Amino acid sequence: MLDMLFTQCSTIDHKFLRDVGVKCGKIVHLADHSNGLLPESREVVDLQGKLLLPGLVETHIHLDKALLLDRLSGDVTTLQGAIAKSGELKRFFTAADINERSLRVIRQAVIHGVTRMRCHVEVDPVIGLIGMETILALKERLKDVIDLQIVAFPQEGIFRDCVTQGLMEQAVSMGADVVGGITYNDRNLEEHLDFVFRLAHKHGLPVDLHADFSDRPEQLAILEVVKTTEKFGMQGRVSVGHLTSLGVVRKVRAEAIAEAIAEAGIHVMCLPATDLYLNGRGVEQAAGRGLTPVQLLLDKGVNVVFGSNNIQNAFTPFGTADPLDIGLLVAQTSHMGSEKDAGILVEMATTRAATALELDSYGLRIGADADLVVCQATDVRSLLYTRSEREKVYKKGKLIAETLVSSNCVI
């Protein structure tokens, strides 16, 4: 006897309607829709063609510095300005404050269908390990609602002071899931990467770097990241966020670099809300779109995904914690308007993201966790383009969020 059976579900990768059965929090039945004999189930939900997705995956977000707009005086319009301003605000962060803002963002994300999330938590002399302690506690507290992956993130660099190296090691001992790094905010790139990869390798953890966040084609750390990935044998276990410098490199060279990225199995996370906001300013020539070249990377076989990055702060004044909002932004800015593109974009927030984050028990397949999202839309294009609601969100078969919408209009 199943606990729940969803019938007549549209899915991203299947032409025909399907039936999906859940028992003890796992998907145990998956078949083309049958009008005949259905497996017995305590509860049957007829989706009548609505999309059923695996839980959305937020690949890259900063909970600890989210929702700071009301503390900012004046606009911040450069990356260095955003780092400096956030550094000032960070002095006044407390555990209760980080907890409250993080919880608000997670709640929004869950309502939008997110059941797994990778968050970068800052580790430095200003905040010490307060962010780590707070988000680790949230991870435990919310484990029945969302899986949080925590990246120990040295936003201020690792070698600009004498304590961050030790703090990074402590963060890993406390339970960080991923070792973070930043290629543009430290004294020496090689030294920085060596530290990050050595720490990750020692503990068997993946690496997730903020990399090449600029409009300048000469600022390309990615080749050094490729080299270091291969040196440590970490192919497939490294992600880079931003990578916008590659978007202004000449096409022939960008293609060769994309091939090297694909060869090293590095996942690329496009972070368009921040990149479009901060890049492309103050340059004499048109600066392109300020994004990593999503299509070119895809063409070369790179696993490209996207993330929210920031929610309403100095880096990005916008944000609703809905990965599909970011998917629409990528569609609009990376010439991805076809039906096939829409499917790829939804995969970027689901299965492709799961690959980047090395998620277990994930997907619309037998044996996976029943993390499921019932969409109001019946196809991927209307899901993305009309920002349609996620009606119901399930974590391991349990209903964790529901959105009811009713509108009135005279016409």
Residues near Zn ion, by CB under 5 A: 309
> Which is closer to Zn ion, CB of 180 or CB of 397?
180
Shortest spacing between CB 380 and Zn ion, in angstroms: 27
> Which is closer to Zn ion, CB of 86 or CB of 228?
86
Shortest spacing between CB 117 and Zn ion, in angstroms: 13
Shortest spacing between CB 120 and Zn ion, in angstroms: 5
Where do we find the tokens 């000469």? 218
| Residue 362 one-letter amino acid | Y
* Sign of the Cα pseudo-torsion (47, 320, 395, 240, in order): positive
Shortest spacing between CB 359 and Zn ion, in angstroms: 19
Nearest to Zn ion by Cβ — which residue?
309
Shortest spacing between CB 151 and Zn ion, in angstroms: 9
Residues in contact with 93: Cβ distance below 8 Å, sequence separation at least 6, in sequence order: 64, 127, 130, 131
> Which is closer to Zn ion, CB of 244 or CB of 309?
309
What distance in Å separates the CA atoms of residue 363 and residue 369, rounded to the nearest whole number? Answer: 8
Shortest spacing between CB 62 and Zn ion, in angstroms: 6
> Which is closer to Zn ion, CB of 33 or CB of 90?
90
Shortest spacing between CB 182 and Zn ion, in angstroms: 9
Shortest spacing between CB 275 and Zn ion, in angstroms: 10
| Residue 197 one-letter amino acid | F
Exposure string for 108-132, b = 16+ CB within 10 A, e = fewer: bbbbbbbbbbbbbbbbbebbebbbb
Shortest spacing between CB 330 and Zn ion, in angstroms: 16
> Which is closer to Zn ion, CB of 309 or CB of 320?
309
What distance in Å separates the CA atoms of residue 124 and residue 128, rounded to the nearest whole number? Answer: 5
Q: Which has the closest alpha carbon to 334: 272, 286, 393? A: 272
What distance in Å separates the CA atoms of residue 12 and residue 377, rounded to the nearest whole number? Answer: 12
Shortest spacing between CB 37 and Zn ion, in angstroms: 50
Angle separating helix axes 164-174 and 189-203, nearest 10 degrees: 20
* Sign of the Cα pseudo-torsion (122, 123, 129, 130, in order): negative
> Which is closer to Zn ion, CB of 183 or CB of 309?
309
> Which is closer to Zn ion, CB of 153 or CB of 197?
153
> Which is closer to Zn ion, CB of 9 or CB of 238?
238
> Which is closer to Zn ion, CB of 229 or CB of 309?
309
> Which is closer to Zn ion, CB of 61 or CB of 345?
61
> Which is closer to Zn ion, CB of 7 or CB of 309?
309
What distance in Å separates the CA atoms of residue 246 and residue 223, rounded to the nearest whole number? Answer: 11
Shortest spacing between CB 79 and Zn ion, in angstroms: 11
Q: Which has the closest alpha carbon to 207: 161, 259, 156, 269? A: 269
